[in-house]
Structure formats: structure tokens, C-alpha cells
Amino acid sequence: MSTSGNSRFEKERQENIARIGKDSDLQGMSRIWQRETAAYNYTYNFSWMGRPIIQFPQDMVAMQEIIWDVKPDLIIETGIAHGGSLIFYASMLELTAACGGSQDAKVLGIDIEIRSHNRQAIEEHPMFRRIDMIEGSSIDPEIITQVKSAAKDKKRILVVLDSNHTHEHVFAELQAYAPLVGVGSYCIVFDSAIEDMPASMFPDRPWGPGNNPKTAVWEYLKDHDEFEIDESIPHKIQITVAPDGYLRRVK
């Protein structure tokens, strides 16, 4: 395809994304679909290179695009679970390294409890050479100090927040880790969709509508105009756990 053809294709794509963003019926159907599939634990159906990832495939595609564009030398993720996301990010860093990206890029995962069978499976995985893990609360001052130490010599940092989903916890994570992100990179806040789901979906959880990652994002952005919500990502993928959660640093 010629340069003019590429430009025309990209222009049409951006126009399509903008049109989707204005289609309230389509966005409503996407939320209904997400709500109805939650009863079946739909996000538990997928793995990446053998490890459960517990994400929507659409968000995985969006993360691939972001990683390719940013080419981070460090990805920080709070919340490890089965380790699928760590493996996914490590494999993306392996691919970007093969295409000219940072050769020693790493993923740093933090979790308050890394269960022994998950730790073993992660450590035995071929992608583990790009992974480091810290066990402890992501908002513990000592853990934050360890993370900042790991990040001090890195130039392009991408942050993913996906641990405890209460407003207070996510807001504290944003305060701790969002400043590590440089201009052009992202701090992604997963499970902001909780705000758009009925409270009955979270009967045994400390979070729900009014107390969740999206409300933390809204509060954080009041005093942090160096970040903006990249609305084009949820508009184009539609099915996402992170509406208002793709935060791009612009200054």
C-alpha cells in the first residue's frame, strides 16, 4: 500500500472510531454484553502461553498496540493472580526487543500474596527471564520504595493497576506509580467498568458502583492534568474492563 493509501486508511479508521464513540446504542449494548457474560466468568476463559490471563481479549489487543507504540523498558503491574498478564507483557517485550526495542526490558509484578503454585508456574515459564516479582501490598511505603528503585534507571515506563479495586486503594496506587510514567506512555487502570455495572454483581466485594477504580481515576485527574483519558481505545474495542482507564501522559 502506498503512503497515500496508508494515510487514507488511517484517516478512515480514526473516523470510524470517532463515530463509534458517538453511538450511545452500541456502547449500551457493549455494557449489556459485558454484564451478562460476567455471570459465566467469561474473562476466565482465556490463557496466554499457557497461563490464565483473566482479561477480555479486546483489552489484550489494546495493550499490544500500546506496548508496540511505547516500547517500554519497564512494565509495572499491580496484581499478579495466575501470572497470565505478566507472561503476556513479557512476551510482548520479547517481540519488541526482536524488532529493535529495549533488549533488557522487564516486567515487574506486585501482589500482596503470590501463591506458591502460581509463583512456581511463572518461574518455570520461558518468559520468566523478563519478569521480576515483589510480594507485598502495592501501597505499602516499603514496597513503593522497592518499585521506585527498580524504575530509577528506566526511561520508558508503562504502569498497569489491577489489584485491589477499591477507590482508596487505586487512588493510592495512582499517587505512587502514575508519576513514574513519562510523556507519551500510559498508566492503565483496569476494572474501572465496575462503576457501570449493577451493585448486585459485587455482593461479597468491598468495591462497587461509587467505590471503584473509575471513581479513583476521576478524583486523581482533578489535580493531575498531565494525564488525559484516551477515549479512542475503549471506543474502538468497545468490550473493555477499563472505560476511562487508559490514561495517557501528555505533559
User: Over the stretch 54-100, which tens digit does the pLDDT of each residue have?
Assistant: 999 999 999 999 999 999 999 999 999 999 999 999 999 999 999 99
Q: Are 139 and 174 in contact (CB under 8 A)?
A: no
The full DSSP string for 185-209 is -EEEETTGGGGGS-GGG-TTSS-BT
Residues 110, 138: Cα–Cα separation, whole Å = 6
Q: How many CB atoms lie within 10 A of CB 196?
A: 16
Of 78, 65, 60, 71, give the one whose Cα is nearest residue 174. Answer: 78
**What average pLDDT score do residues 30-35 get?**
96
Residue 202, CA atoms < 13 Å, CB-side half-sphere = 18
Report all structural domains of the chain as residue ranges with CATH numbers, in order of start.
Answer: 3-249 (3.40.50.150)
**What average pLDDT score do residues 216-236 get?**
98
Q: Are 189 and 170 in contact (CB under 8 A)?
A: yes
How far is residue 63 CA from its own chain's centroid? 7
Q: How confident is the model at residue 203 (pLDDT cuts 50, 70, 90)?
A: very high
pLDDT at residue 3, rounded to an integer: 65
Q: How confident is the model at residue 2 (pLDDT cuts 50, 70, 90)?
A: low
**What average pLDDT score do residues 172-189 get?**
98
Residue 148 has pLDDT above 60, yes or no: yes
Residues 54, 84: Cα–Cα separation, whole Å = 7
**What average pLDDT score do residues 157-164 get?**
98
**What average pLDDT score do residues 25-44 get?**
96
State the virtual CA torsion across 39, 40, 43, 49 in degrees, nearest 10.
160
Residues 88, 196: Cα–Cα separation, whole Å = 27
pLDDT at residue 6, rounded to an integer: 86
Residues 54, 201: Cα–Cα separation, whole Å = 17
Strands (E), the chain: 47-48, 51-52, 74-78, 106-111, 131-135, 157-161, 186-189, 227-229, 246-249
**What average pLDDT score do residues 42-46 get?**
97
pLDDT at residue 5, rounded to an integer: 74
Residues 196, 8: Cα–Cα separation, whole Å = 35
pLDDT at residue 4, rounded to an integer: 66
User: Over the stretch 10-27, which tens digit does the pLDDT of each residue have?
Assistant: 999 999 999 999 999 999
**What average pLDDT score do residues 120-137 get?**
98
Of 104, 97, 101, 95, give the one whose Cα is nearest residue 48. Answer: 95
Q: How confident is the model at residue 133 (pLDDT cuts 50, 70, 90)?
A: very high
The pTM of the full predicted model, rounded to 2 decimals, is 0.96
pLDDT at residue 220, rounded to an integer: 98
Residue 40 has pLDDT above 80, yes or no: yes
pLDDT at residue 161, rounded to an integer: 98
Residue 1 has pLDDT above 60, yes or no: no
Provide the mean pLDDT of the chain: 96
